[in-house]
Amino acid sequence: MYVLRIPFFVRLLFPQAITRIKTAEKKVYLTFDDGPIPEVTPWVMDVLKEEDIRATFFCVGENVFKYPEIFNRLVREGHKIGNHTFNHLPAFKTDNQDFVENVSSAEEYIKSDLFRPPHGQFNLRLFRSLKKRYKIVFWDLLSCDFDAQKSGEQCLEGIKKYVRPGSIIVFHDSLKAEKNLRYALPKSIAYLKKEGYTFDVVS
């Protein structure tokens, strides 16, 4: 089984960040990182539309620049949008000022008050800087669809095992995750609906 919950120390370091939505309802929040791209994102939107689900997409600014028609469809169909930097920068390998400027570059194309750091990499200085402009959103449950060493079946079984009310679940609308995503997403939605869960966007 390979599914990651956000580490406890992250919640301690960044107590104002969102990792899970407090709710007594059986409600979950599907999120998608790294798009939009033509090979995957339209398929994701088709699945969500068929299931009447709105989700939250943390978009890479460069991809929004390249594929504005896909991004516009996301907005048009009622999905929530978040900033995921312009170039999908890893914070641990990037100068803080360069990172903040990259987020600002993405903001030119992504008008949102939500931000998720790529790879979940963050530090206190970046947090203090960006929390003035954004709600910082991590996750409660990582599908691990991006991991080529894992199967779609493992992604699905992890979601079944670890989901709980208020879970923010991460998938990826990316080429790297495509195989596992195409298997796990429809089956995860079917399972969650069967278990009585409803879906909402992060706000």
Please name the helix (run of DSSP H) or strand (run of DSSP E) that holds residue 111, with its range, or none: none
- Pair 173, 30: CB distance under 8 Å: no
Interatomic CA distance for residues 62 and 13, integer angstroms: 29
Which are the catalytic amino acids? 33, 172
- Give the separation between CA 96 and CA 156, rounded to whole angstroms: 36
Pull the structure tokens for residue 172.
Answer: 């990826």
> Residue 139 — φ and ψ, nearest 5°?
-165, 165
Q: Which amino acid is at 73?
A: R
